[in-house]
Amino acid sequence: MLAIQFIRDHPDLVREGARLKGETAPVDEILELDRQLRSVLAEEESLRAELNLSSARFGELSRSGDQAVEELRLKLAELKSRIQTKQQERKDFEEQLQRLLLVVPNPPHELVPYGQSDDDNVVIRTWGALPEFDFQPKPHFELGERLGLFDFERAVKVAGSRFALLKGAGARLERALTWLMLDLATGEHGYEEVSPPYLVSRECMVGTANLPKFEEDAFHVLEGDRFLIPTAEVPVTNLYREEILDADRLPIRHVAWTPCWRSEAGAPGKDTRGYIRLHQFSKVELVKFVRPEDSLAELEALVRDAEAVLQTLGIHYRVRLMCSGDMGFAQWKKYDIDAFAPGLGRYLEVSSCSAFGDFQARRANIRFRSHGGKPEFVHTLNGSALALPRTFDCLLETYQTKAGGIRVPEALRGYLRGLEEIGPPTH
RNA sequence: GGGGAGGUGGCUGAGUGGCCGAAAGCGCCCGCCUGCUAAGCGGGUGACGGGGCUUAACCUCGUCCGAGGGUUCGAAUCCCUCCCUUCCCGCCA
């Protein structure tokens, strides 16, 4: 959410920011509502000031038994009804204004390149070389099914399409990946691990800007009006909602492994075959709360922390700076990390790292205070490190052997009791 | 699920109808004192919003004592509903 003061002072900037993202912002309506709100607010407040003064006088008069009391009582009753009318008007304006403010997108940072689609994103760097094979590399779903790592059919039987099931070495491998990611974050990169609830309140979803604009993307649990988390970003960012943090505590860096649920209303197709784009998947997520001036440097560090996972695994990847049109509603600046899947012959997005400025902090009211100063909004950031299924897929495809087995990267063997290779299949 | 207690500022905690945006303490800020540190002494210190003001400082008005309603001329204080915390009992992984 943007500050109303900011929109008053820079309406063109807000309009332009929305345009860059390919969206629109109801700036004129907001400014008009804001004017009306302030005018009715001023009237209400001066009536209240009058009521407050007169009430005090009423007390004095009635104690001294003055006859004027009855006259004053009538006057106050009339005042009060006028106040109630104004108050209702004010509340209506506030509600309308709030609704509109929540749908104004965060303008991109000035260094974000302009663009309208995926093609306009800018590759910042790549790591490792495209893997080479002396045979035709297979896609992960073929490898995994032959090795018995997946059971897609039974997953569908149990939960419906777009759910997956890992078994045997597959389940263990994903668990090993999860442990590696958590150990890197907590042991090497200085994140404190949290294990949050997987259901959150509506307020939390609004705080991270998953609502009100994207309600159809989330699974809604009617009992208690809660939502299955689409990412750990939601519960973890909201950890400090409505709080004023001591500046000495910043930066706060958290890592969380959670399942994530997305309703992903699109139809299945070529890009969704295999262990990808599921209603439920798991992810290791990094979340930071920082001082405004550290925000962008912390974003760079966050991306590096996520990259470290792929480097440790020896998987080729690229980092792209998202163009204005391809970054979400709430982001200020965003990088994607795409790992290469040789069997599919394309890159898969395994991480999305974003800085939000104070956009989320305003919505969730997360502030900090430095030694006796005024409270200020923190800046929030987050990114995956990494999404499990796609990292799993890239690993399978990168480390496949001609015989159809999977070599286990050095870094994972300790989590798999020394296992060096999965398979190859015997039939 | 049943019953009791409770939710007050950055924190702890007093306050049962006007003298309360709210005692006291902690923390923080400024000053004094002090070989240094600690202690001590004095003063200051809530949030949000509107208006005034060239900005800041400042002035002023309003709102806020879990949330929302109600009673009253007037509510932190009385009533209702909801949320949350905690204790006892029950049930259960």
According to the model, what pLDDT value does residue A66 have?
A: 77
State CA A213 to chain mean position distance.
13
Residue A211 (CA) to nucleotide B83 (C1'), in angstroms, measures: 21
- Within residues 93-152 of protein chain A, the ones with CB less than 7 A from nucleic strand B are none
pTM of the model: 0.92
Residue A4 (CA) to nucleotide B31 (C1'), in angstroms, measures: 40
Mention every residue, 6+ apart, whose C-beta is less than 8 A from residue A166: A149, A150, A173, A174
Query: Which nucleotide's C1' is closest to A77 (Cα)?
Result: B73
Residue A325: burial class (beta carbons within 10 Å; 0-12, 13-18, 19+): buried
According to the model, what pLDDT value does residue A339 have?
A: 98
The Cα A25–Cα A101 span in angstroms is 9
Rounded to the nearest 5°, which phi and psi values hold at A183?
Answer: -65, -40
According to the model, what pLDDT value does residue A325 have?
A: 94
- Within residues 314-373 of protein chain A, the ones with CB less than 7 A from nucleic strand B are 367, 369, 371-372
- Which tokens sit at A195? 């294990």
Residue A112: burial class (beta carbons within 10 Å; 0-12, 13-18, 19+): buried
- Within residues 28-87 of protein chain A, the ones with CB less than 7 A from nucleic strand B are 38, 41-42, 44-46, 48-49, 51-56, 58-59, 62, 73, 76-77, 80
CA angle A210, A121, A118 (to 5 degrees): 65
Concatenated DSSP letters of A289-328 = EE-GGGHHHHHHHHHHHHHHHHHHHT--EEEEEPPGGGS-
ipTM for the whole complex: 0.85
Query: Which nucleotide's C1' is closest to A39 (Cα)?
Result: B50
Catalytic residue among A295, A352, A354, A384: A352
Strand-pairing partners, residue A335, are: A321, A353
CA-closest candidate to residue A147, choices A414, A419, A349, A418: A419
The Cα A363–Cα A1 span in angstroms is 6
Query: Which nucleotide's C1' is closest to A224 (Cα)?
Result: B83
Domains assigned to chain A: 4-101 (1.10.287.40), 118-422 (3.30.930.10)
Walk along chain A (427 residues) and give the pLDDT tens digit of each residue: 898 989 998 999 999 999 999 999 999 999 999 999 999 999 999 999 999 989 988 888 887 777 788 888 888 988 888 998 899 899 899 989 998 999 999 999 999 999 999 999 999 999 999 999 999 999 999 999 999 999 999 999 999 889 999 999 999 999 999 999 999 999 999 999 999 999 998 889 998 988 888 888 899 888 788 899 999 999 999 999 888 888 888 899 999 999 999 987 665 666 678 899 899 999 999 999 999 999 999 999 999 999 999 999 999 999 999 999 999 999 999 999 999 999 999 999 999 999 999 999 999 889 888 876 788 899 999 999 999 999 999 999 999 999 999 999 999 999 999 999 998 877 6
According to the model, what pLDDT value does residue A179 have?
A: 98
Strand-pairing partners, residue A367, are: A244, A377
Catalytic residue among A15, A162, A172, A262: A262
The Cα A75–Cα A96 span in angstroms is 32
Mention every residue, 6+ apart, whose C-beta is less than 8 A from residue A309: A180, A181, A184, A385, A386, A391
